[in-house]
Structure 1
């Protein structure tokens, strides 16, 4: 998705004769899959296996490694094999029509599928120039973090994540894979020092050039800015939406070109993320046109099933990973639809709104070509605060709205029982969004509400304790009444800082400044977060 900054004009000549095309060679089987089933840890981490166990997902042949002799056989036919997928069980090669026929005749090959959608090339009637992806403008529960959110407060509050943080859910124990461009400055910048010092960056890989180099300054900084929205931290200036999550950083997008191989880079990154046991994948990329117009998609292809990356993204969700994608920034263009794989039904697609809650004009429209509501919901993507290198900055685009939401998802996953279906969580997020049960083509079901969703997801299937706070607003005292005995009450200000701790249910608040406050009320088996106003 060269929906990152401005689009470059790329010229090239196509060979008139014996023209090659990118194809995917699907293999028939995995002859050594029994070895995988007897020792799953040879391919998947314990965390990955635990995710499947918790969610009732059984191992399948997709999880087994690809047969290495098949790859060797393809190479022996004279092909270069750089990219392959165990989930799809095959390899990608460039081949002429005659070579495609040869590949199809191999005994171990099931079939060959081309990436080409428009054999004659040239401009398709609905093809337009790409848009900018963003423009840069200026139950593991951790010990409670008391953050000064600084300029990030409003975007956190718009989707009601701060109450989750106050409740102790800041992403601890959750692992997020950010699959994007490169991540320059993440290894040196002070905005990511907290992640580095706490060992939160677990690893990464560059699937573009097949190296460990993800921090090189020559790489596009789009991935860094997206990561900053989730995990960035500058004391008293900015806090991301999941500051205590763990991260894997994978590069899959070369911002200077647009080639269909990038879909495979993403799938390979997602497979590696699955091996590591990630809980959430956040990606602010998408595809509908390429430098070689033979590979372009049209709206009819945006059905969540046609593109290779949409198929790969769905497989990632079927492994129990919560996958979020940016809707795209084509709202003002003739092509104004979500790009793939945001068109996939199982992907949680995020559009953009302004600070006032209005649709960002650039945010792409749904539904997908099969009529599935897209985006699923929205967060702030206009003039969103994030961090880069050593400072706070702002950027606009669904590229920022998506990681903002992904961090909220990680906090939500931390807060709920490990065996709650990811599809159930997606459904609750939609149901608690601002427009539900209505929706529209640019906002989907509306602005997400993470704490409200948390309140509707049961951890222990115990009925939520009823709480009464009165008077509210209050001048001097507040009284708190619950069905169960109160063990302690903590008061937090709007920045999430602990102000006062009490054990009685009649609290003197006369010394507090006027404004909004959070109450964290602990009973024997629950913790409840409520709000009150000091007059």
Structure 2
């Protein structure tokens, strides 16, 4: 009887769905925008305004709140309104064709756009799942980052991030919004104790359920794992790519269904991130198909301007937020290509590579359908380690390559506090990646190289000292030539641990084991981190 009842319920739901469709009602204007412009703090935090000032981004009508009277008017017409966007200036409702006509005729409505792309459903070429279902689950500067990386060392080194950590840049003062499923055990697990005790979780909200709880153990763990790749810390076992960053945790993905409303949940989360003044958004979600096939997209729609979520992601990037999006895990499926919002031209799309630097077979292909090179760059996505609850594990997917890269961006941004152009930072990261100037369709410009980019941007600005270390390789002694008086020297082993400090230009290294080491050299207000080999 239960099976029959379930079938009947499903059939009824499909009939109702056929009668209505999700639409977005675009409003003509924002009548009260003058009040916002006279008092921007009524809508945006000072941190958000400061980011705009630093990057030279002017306030626009998009930043003003949506007109409350318009929402009330829609509700008075009999519609339920739970999701809306000030950036797009409108609300989402479910409506019949006749109701759409009524909505279009309202004096304050500009136009109504349906989420439906295939009115008759149509044949589906390939079921595209959420990235999480493919993931295998088994100054602001702090003076020293003496980390024992453990399992995460190889993925940190592949993107040349350990040297940036040792230089003192581990994400301090940089805020990252992780927009994902949920974050179970982040409020209790020892893998996240460090960010909790240092009060680095700044805001939480579940845009699916409309409440602040993002920690429920009933939520999918994908978001927590992605957070763990950035901010997790287990001494001697795991260090995230930006363990000193601040975090804003937003749930936008409903694990039980695949519905077009999830695109709006994401946009709402991105708008909240903007209000709070975050610097970076990291998202490992993508959309092409839904439970109701009327809403399915095609590759032609992956042009960065068609899907609602890609429009929102593009606006977020135009607000000065560094938006990183996973390319997707469809490289070996008939779909093959990136999904939304990875197709947005302004986002920094991340592909996945193996430990050897080869493209991960599952990593989705670009470009977007308008010909924009995607992905932009790549990081480790095969057997990538993450911290979760009380331990660490490893899994595969562009879902994991993306937060790894996002943490690197946070450290990089911390090292350049006076940055005035996010687009220039993106371009420099592309230019210093492993495949530049010859990108391919799975890695873009290749594996990121954060310390190389830091070096190229700071060598002439008076912050980085020029040095010569010789002999290299060395057996008993190394000499350091700077042309200036050395104030301190620190040697770190391959795990990232500080093992020797001095202030001399000639160092005895005879007691060191054979291998590769990093040496941090300071002379006055200048410094550098270099590598040498003990023979």
TM above 0.5, one fold?
Answer: yes
Counterpart of 2:129? Answer: 130
1:270-315 CA-to-partner distances (Å, cap 9, x unmatched) read: 0001111111100000000001111111000001111010010011
Deviation at 1:439, TM superposition (A): 1.2
CA distance in 2, matches of 1:483, 1:298: 60
1:174-226 CA-to-partner distances (Å, cap 9, x unmatched) read: 11000000111111111111111110111200000101111111111110111
Would you say 1:347 and 2:347 are equivalent positions?
yes
CA distance in 1, matches of 2:419, 2:108: 38
Counterpart of 1:188? Answer: 188
Would you say 1:419 and 2:419 are equivalent positions?
yes
The gaps in structure 1 that reach 5 residues or longer are 1-9
CA distance in 2, matches of 1:465, 1:190: 39
Question: Residue 417 of structure 1 contacts residue 459 of structure 1 at CA under 8 Å; is this kept in 2?
Answer: no
Deviation at 1:444, TM superposition (A): 1.0
1:294-340 CA-to-partner distances (Å, cap 9, x unmatched) read: 11110000011110100100110111100001110001100010001
Question: Residue 139 of structure 1 contacts residue 414 of structure 1 at CA under 8 Å; is this kept in 2?
Answer: no
Question: Residue 486 of structure 2 contacts residue 522 of structure 2 at CA under 8 Å; is this kept in 1?
Answer: yes
**Which has the larger displacement, 232-241 or 474-483?**
474-483
**Which has the larger displacement, 491-500 or 16-25?**
16-25
Counterpart of 1:209? Answer: 209
Would you say 1:243 and 2:246 are equivalent positions?
no
Question: Residue 130 of structure 2 contacts residue 285 of structure 2 at CA under 8 Å; is this kept in 1?
Answer: no
The gaps in structure 2 that reach 5 residues or longer are 1-8
Would you say 1:301 and 2:304 are equivalent positions?
no
Deviation at 1:471, TM superposition (A): 0.2
Greater helix fraction, Structure 1 or Structure 2: 2
User: What TM-score results when the alignment is normalised by the length of structure 1?
Assistant: 0.95
Question: Residue 131 of structure 2 contacts residue 399 of structure 2 at CA under 8 Å; is this kept in 1?
Answer: no
Q: Classify the secondary structure of the residue corresponding to 1:151.
A: helix
Deviation at 1:16, TM superposition (A): 7.5
CA distance in 2, matches of 1:190, 1:164: 25
**1:51-200 pair list within 5 angstroms:** 51-124=51-124, 126-130=125-129, 133=132, 134-200=134-200
**Which has the larger displacement, 135-144 or 19-28?**
135-144
Q: Classify the secondary structure of the residue corresponding to 2:468.
A: strand
**Which has the larger displacement, 138-147 or 75-84?**
138-147
> In the superposition, relative to structure 1, how do residues 463 and 280 fare at CA in structure 2: closer, same or farther (>3 Å)?
closer
Counterpart of 2:3? Answer: none
1:376-414 CA-to-partner distances (Å, cap 9, x unmatched) read: 111111111111111111111111010000000000000
CA distance in 2, matches of 1:381, 1:412: 20
> In the superposition, relative to structure 1, how do residues 230 and 18 fare at CA in structure 2: closer, same or farther (>3 Å)?
closer
Deviation at 1:443, TM superposition (A): 1.2
Would you say 1:229 and 2:232 are equivalent positions?
no
Q: Classify the secondary structure of the residue corresponding to 1:516.
A: strand
Question: Residue 128 of structure 1 contacts residue 334 of structure 1 at CA under 8 Å; is this kept in 2?
Answer: no
Deviation at 1:137, TM superposition (A): 4.4
Deviation at 1:139, TM superposition (A): 4.6
User: What TM-score results when the alignment is normalised by the length of structure 2?
Assistant: 0.95
CA distance in 2, matches of 1:95, 1:139: 53
Counterpart of 2:5? Answer: none
CA distance in 1, matches of 2:17, 2:457: 60
Q: Classify the secondary structure of the residue corresponding to 1:271.
A: helix
Counterpart of 1:327? Answer: 327
> In the superposition, relative to structure 1, how do residues 137 and 58 fare at CA in structure 2: closer, same or farther (>3 Å)?
closer
Question: Residue 135 of structure 2 contacts residue 399 of structure 2 at CA under 8 Å; is this kept in 1?
Answer: no
1:63-121 CA-to-partner distances (Å, cap 9, x unmatched) read: 11111011000000100000000111110011111111111111111111111111111
1:406-455 CA-to-partner distances (Å, cap 9, x unmatched) read: 00000000001333311111111111111111111111111111111111
CA distance in 1, matches of 2:30, 2:510: 71
Counterpart of 2:23? Answer: 23
**1:321-470 pair list within 5 angstroms:** 321-458=321-458, 461-462=461-462, 464-470=464-470
Q: Classify the secondary structure of the residue corresponding to 2:52.
A: helix
Counterpart of 1:253? Answer: 253
Deviation at 1:461, TM superposition (A): 3.0
CA distance in 2, matches of 1:150, 1:327: 28
**Which has the larger displacement, 400-409 or 412-421?**
412-421
Counterpart of 2:514? Answer: 514
CA distance in 2, matches of 1:294, 1:387: 38
CA distance in 2, matches of 1:281, 1:463: 28
> In the superposition, relative to structure 1, how do residues 17 and 513 fare at CA in structure 2: closer, same or farther (>3 Å)?
closer
Q: Classify the secondary structure of the residue corresponding to 2:461.
A: coil
Deviation at 1:17, TM superposition (A): 9.5
**Which has the larger displacement, 455-464 or 357-366?**
455-464
CA distance in 2, matches of 1:317, 1:65: 19
Deviation at 1:235, TM superposition (A): 1.2
**Which has the larger displacement, 222-231 or 485-494?**
485-494
Number of matched residues? 525
